[in-house]
Structure 1
Amino acid sequence: MTEYDNEPIPGLPGILPPGETIVWQGSPDWRSLARTAFHTRLVAVYFAGLSLMAALFAVRHGAYAGLELTVSLGLVGLGLLHVLAWGSARTTIYTLTNRRIVFRIGMAVPKCINLPLGMIASVDFAGRANGTGDLPLTLIGAPKLGYVALWPHARPLKIARPAPMMRSVPQAATVAALVARTCLAANPNGRIAPIEHAQAQTPRTAAPAFEEAHPA
């Protein structure tokens, strides 16, 4: 049994109330998450530079222990970051319903963060060449969300006013269109522009605890 086995619906903390339906569910692509949230490429470049310096020192002085240690640390560090990215993606489910967006996140302490569509002022989109992308959500008011509790599902550098972000979503352009259209349908007077050509994606697994964001 895992901590997710008691979920009545994968990715949600309870049974949906009458009239609420799931529009889309998805999880981050772990390889893209490793590169963008855990910065594996930057870490690889850093250790490559250290290894080059260690290699030059080893050739000059005939001492290769430092080079072996540097390379080993780099490989272990990159391996751990990839494992964390895989674990984070595996335990994350983003759920869009006709009334809210739910983030099921957390490896050590699973939780669900509930964002009613009426709280969402805008949906941004940052796509990548491989089809994945990030969907930062701008919320109305001052929701009580902590940056550390949200990370890595938080917009980078928005620490004082954390903004939830759906990270490394596959088929991101399609999902962004679907999210924008659903938000607009729920809040016709909002500022979210409708985008066409959206389609749903296959759901994945799910989580327990529940946290609801309220405007201050």
Structure 2
Amino acid sequence: MHDDFKFEPVRGLPEALPRDEHIIWQGSPVARRLWIEAFKARWVAGYFGLLAVWRFGVSAADTSIAGSIVLATPFLIAGAFVLALLYGLAWIQARATVYTLTNKRVGMRIGAALTMTLNLPYPQIEAAQLDLRRGGTGTLAFLLPRDTRLSYLMTWPHVRPGHINRTQAALRCIPAAADVARQFTEAAETRLSQPQIARRPADMPHAVAAE
């Protein structure tokens, strides 16, 4: 993981791909789903809605219905402003994010103000979990080894929600999530089935059979 402010030779990746590596899929979060799931738009709307209802109910005992509506309206306006602000943040996050699957790894260019790139080689991914939502969007999260430390705050919202102690990087709110999960599974299985050849250092002496 490293800060990435330099020019990208390949979109979403900090450096050009080796000759034996190629991109299988690239995508970004769906801004509306990120707004709802990560920025909790429905909870925020409900909160300001309850405040408006409360203000209306309290005012109704002393004023007319029209007057109560007027007194409750500022809460609705404030709620609309906050929701619009949160949507703007979700849109910026989605626009700045590029998720990449290659035949060797998962790449994640994330962050709007502070851009970072995560490279997750398939052999280092212990497990993956898909949270599929209505409409086909979903979140594909990756369980990494315990000695791989990710900051939940630094990588949010590109993490599996609620898993703070062992942060799981995630392709958040992606379209056609089931198809992406299938491509990931096929690529990871193919990569893991390839034999890993260890090279012997040039200065290592050859073994000599005992006489």
The alpha carbon displacement at 1:126 in A equals 1.2
Q: What residue in structure 2 maps to residue 47 of structure 1? A: 48
Q: What residue in structure 1 maps to residue 60 of structure 2? A: 59
TM-score, structure 2 length as denominator?
0.83
Farther off after superposition, 4-13 or 37-46: 4-13
Helix, strand or coil at the partner of 2:193? coil
Structure 2 runs not aligned, ≥5 long? 195-211
Rounded to whole Å, the distance in 1 between the matches of 2:88 and 2:119 is 27
User: Kindly, what percent of the aligned residue pairs are identical?
Assistant: 37
The alpha carbon displacement at 1:61 in A equals 2.7
Q: CA RMSD in A?
A: 1.8
Tell me, yes or no, if structure 1 residue 11 matches structure 2 residue 12. yes
Contact 1:11 1:95 in 2 (8 A): yes
Contact 1:11 1:93 in 2 (8 A): yes
Q: What residue in structure 2 maps to residue 173 of structure 1? A: 178
Residue type of the alignment partner of 2:42: R
Contact 1:142 1:161 in 2 (8 A): no
Q: Which has the higher contact order (CA 8 A, sep 6+)?
A: 1
TM-score, structure 1 length as denominator?
0.81
Greater Rg over alpha carbons, structure: 2
Rounded to whole Å, the distance in 2 between the matches of 1:132 and 1:96 is 17
Tell me, yes or no, if structure 1 residue 121 matches structure 2 residue 121. no
Contact 1:28 1:169 in 2 (8 A): yes
Rounded to whole Å, the distance in 2 between the matches of 1:4 and 1:161 is 27
Residue type of the alignment partner of 2:26: Q
Paired residue for 1:157, among 153, 162, 182? 162
Q: What residue in structure 2 maps to residue 201 of structure 1? A: none
Report matched runs for 1:1-216 at 5 Å. 6-62=7-63, 66-188=71-193
Q: CA offsets, 1:76-101, max 9 Å, x none?
A: 11111111111111111100111111
Residue type of the alignment partner of 1:109: L
Rounded to whole Å, the distance in 1 between the matches of 2:93 and 2:166 is 23
Rounded to whole Å, the distance in 2 between the matches of 1:168 and 1:4 is 25
Contact 2:146 2:166 in 1 (8 A): no
Farther off after superposition, 120-129 or 55-64: 55-64
Contact 2:99 2:108 in 1 (8 A): yes
Q: CA offsets, 1:172-198, max 9 Å, x none?
A: 000001111111111139xxxxxxxxx
Rounded to whole Å, the distance in 1 between the matches of 2:179 and 2:126 is 19
**Which segments of structure 1 move beyond 4 Å, counting only runs of 4 or more?**
63-66
Residue type of the alignment partner of 1:88: Q
How many residues are aligned here? 187
Rounded to whole Å, the distance in 1 between the matches of 2:145 and 2:42 is 35
With over 3 angstroms needed to count, the CA separation of the structure-2 counterparts of 1:151 and 1:46, relative to structure 1, is same
Rounded to whole Å, the distance in 2 between the matches of 1:142 and 1:58 is 57
Residue type of the alignment partner of 2:90: A
Rounded to whole Å, the distance in 2 between the matches of 1:5 and 1:160 is 31
Residue type of the alignment partner of 1:156: P
Residue type of the alignment partner of 1:41: R
The alpha carbon displacement at 1:57 in A equals 2.1
